């Protein structure tokens, strides 16, 4: 089983609040990703990082920001939550050589509801 | 047009049936094809990984790639209620590490 953790698992919060979704992995992977997943829809990449101090925006426009100060930690922050941010957020990591490098390991996800 | 198309289902079959799950893709340059399984309230987990055309078998699961038709399939033999989950196809995009995802097919195996 993959060692990647996300907290909180569920979050209900009011509009305008600042929130940080935590993601940590203990596998020493250099690459980490944040996805947004809505019911019946494909995963959309919102941020990714290929190493410490490296972050990029993904294909889906997002008002969130990320940081990668340590290899194992990749938090996602929303400065001002809105109802349109309601979704499931999945964190993933990958690393290694050859075939293993293609495998992304996922955390359990954070379900966010903004009222 | 989406780069990867997948029927969202749900697909409901009786226990013991053979299940066929499929995705089509648009770019003939794609080379790495994956199937992930996602249980309710969990993150996706890698099930099968294929690089070339043909079949790859792992226990009750067989992944098939037809590059000429740009079509990938996952077959589940002797399906079990524990196979009930959403199955997502994913394709590696170019030389970077990003994946393009299908919408996932929800599979229900009835006891």
The 10s digit of each residue's pLDDT in A6-57 is: 999 999 999 999 999 999 999 999 999 999 999 888 899 999 999 999 999 9
Q: How does strand B11-14 pair with strand A110-114?
A: unpaired
Give dist(CA B6, CA B23) in Å, integer: 5
Question: What's the pLDDT band for A101 if we cut at 50, 70, 90?
Answer: low
CA distance A93 to A21: 15
pLDDT at position A1 over 60 = no
Beta-carbon contacts of residue A16 (< 8 Å; ≥ 6 apart): A80, A81, A82
Q: Does A25 touch chain B (CB under 8 A)?
A: no
**What is the distance between the alpha carbons of residues A72 and A88, in angstroms, rounded to a whole number?**
21
Tokens of residue B20, six digits: 């066929």
C-alpha A5/C-alpha A2 separation (Å) is 9
- Cβ–Cβ of A40/B8 closer than 8 Å? yes
Measure in Å the smallest separation between the Cα of A13 and chain B Cα atoms. Answer: 19
Cβ within 8 Å, pair A90-B97: no
pLDDT digits (tens, 9 = 90+) for B25-80: 998 888 889 999 999 989 999 999 888 788 899 999 999 999 899 999 999 999 99
Q: From chain A, pick out residues whose CB is under 8 angstroms from the CB of B32.
A: 102
Provide the pLDDT for residue A100: 54
Contact A102 B34 (CB under 8 A): yes
Res A59 pLDDT > 70: yes
Mean per-residue pLDDT for B9-36? 93
- Chain A residues in contact with B98 by the CB 8 A cut-off are 45, 48, 58
Q: Give the minimum alpha-carbon distance from B80 to chain A in angstroms, rounded to a whole number.
A: 21
Q: CB B88 to CB A42 under 8 A? A: yes
Q: Which of B91, B80, B98 is CA-nearest to residue B4?
A: B91
Taking one residue from A and the other from B, the number of pairs with CB-CB distance under 8 angstroms is: 54
Distances (CA, A) of A95 to A30, A60, A71, B24: 6, 23, 11, 27
Non-local (6+) Cβ contacts of B96 within 8 A are none
Closest-CA distance of chain B to residue A105, Å: 7
């Amino acid at each position: 089983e993959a060692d990647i953790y996300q907290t909180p698992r569920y979050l209900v919060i009011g509009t305008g609040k600042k929130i940080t979704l935590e993601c940590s992995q203990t596998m020493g992977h250099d690459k980490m990703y944040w996805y947004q997943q809505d019911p019946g829809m494909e995963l959309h990449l919102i941020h990714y990082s290929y190493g410490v101090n490296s972050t990029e925006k993904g294909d889906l426009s997002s008002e969130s920001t990320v940081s990668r100060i340590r290899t194992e930690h990749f938090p996602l922050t929303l400065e001002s939550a809105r109802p349109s941010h309601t979704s499931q957020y999945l964190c993933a990591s990958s690393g290694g050589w050859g075939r293993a490098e293609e495998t992304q390991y996922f955390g359990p996800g954070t379900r966010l509801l903004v009222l | 047009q989406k780069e990867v198309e997948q029927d969202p289902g749900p697909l409901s079959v009786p226990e013991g049936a053979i299940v066929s799950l499929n995705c089509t893709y648009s770019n003939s340059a794609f080379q790495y094809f994956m199937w992930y399984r996602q249980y309710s309230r969990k993150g996706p987990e890698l099930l099968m990984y294929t690089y070339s055309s043909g079949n790859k078998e792992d226990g009750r699961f067989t992944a098939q790639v037809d590059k000429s038709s740009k079509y990938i399939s996952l077959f589940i033999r002797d399906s079990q209620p524990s196979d009930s989950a959403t199955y997502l196809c994913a394709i590696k995009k170019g030389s970077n590490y990003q994946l393009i995802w299908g919408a996932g097919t929800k599979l229900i195996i009835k006891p």
